[in-house]
Amino acid sequence: MTDCPNAEMRDRLPDLLHERLDRSARAAVMAHVERCANCRAELALLREARAVLTSGVRTVDVAAIARGVIARTRAPIAVVAPAARRSRQQRSWSDWRIAASIAVIAAGAATVAVIRSRQESVVIAPPPVVANTVAVALPPVAESAHRVHRVPRAPVAAAPAQNAELSAGAGVSDLSDSDLRALLQDLDSMDAVTPTDPEPVTVRVSMPGRGDGGEIE
């Protein structure tokens, strides 16, 4: 058996045998084999050799093998890990989104609460609950007819007994004429002297054109 001098064609004979050539290559090799006795003889030898080498092969039970493989490799780390990593990444992103949403909602709620508290302090006159404050309704002014200013109440020792009604929540406008008169009398009878004497004040005045400044006590 002589070797064909066309080494390239001879090299492709096993590929022809196993149908591993594309259409054009297969056509070229087939055309060569048809006119080359050496290559035809070598191709026949290859067929024989393949038959010998694969003669003991029986058909394997592919379904049983597949079942066994899946059972022995079910949920392997390599299979679970990418999905778990993906899940963790997705969960991380959704966590951030939820956190951001909560922050936005909280900020909005805080803003609304501040606005409402301001509106309440402007529109609604809450009853004076604290004992040492007296709510005094002022005459209507530009902003609101119901605006209420809280002013410090006079010392408790100087307050008449009737003032307890005021501190209970009623305004001056709720008093009757007789109560109002009594209240005014009490106020007139209150000692207006401050509890402590004021400290002496020194005022230094600089006069332009004079070297020294005058001092007034």
Partner 1 sequence: MTDASRGGDGQSDLDLIARWQRGDERAATELVARHAQALARFACSFGASEEVDDLVQDTFVRAFNSLDGFRGESSFRTWLFTIERRLLLDRRRAEKRRPSRVEVQEGDAATEYDALDSMVAGEAANRVREAMKKLSPTQREVFTLRVAQGLSYKEIAELVGTTEGAARVHYHNAMRAVKEFIDD
| Binding stretches for partner 1 (CB under 8 A) | 1, 3, 11, 14-15, 17-22, 25, 42, 45-46, 48-66, 68-70, 72-73, 75-76, 78-80, 82-83
Are the C-beta atoms of 4 and 39 separated by less than 8 Å?
yes
Q: Which is nearer to partner 1, 25 or 100 (CB)?
A: 25
Residues 6+ apart with CB under 8 A from 30: 16
Instruction: Report the DSSP beta bridge partners of residue 214.
Output: 205
Return d(Cα 17, Cα 45) in angstroms, integer: 11
Smallest distance, Å, CB 12 to partner 1?
10
Q: Which is nearer to partner 1, 8 or 174 (CB)?
A: 8
Smallest distance, Å, CB 72 to partner 1?
5
Smallest distance, Å, CB 68 to partner 1?
5
Handedness of CA 37, 43, 45, 47 (dihedral sign): negative
Are the C-beta atoms of 186 and 160 separated by less than 8 Å?
yes
Smallest distance, Å, CB 61 to partner 1?
6
Q: What residue type is assigned to position 139 of the chain?
A: P
Q: Which is nearer to partner 1, 17 or 183 (CB)?
A: 17
Six-digit token string for 214: 């005058």
Using DSSP bridges, classify how beta strands 133-137 and 203-205 pair: parallel, antiparallel or unpaired.
unpaired
Smallest distance, Å, CB 60 to partner 1?
5
Q: Which is nearer to partner 1, 65 or 113 (CB)?
A: 65
Residue 80 DSSP SS3: helix
Q: Which is nearer to partner 1, 80 or 98 (CB)?
A: 80
Number of other residues whose CB lies within 10 A of the CB of residue 100: 10
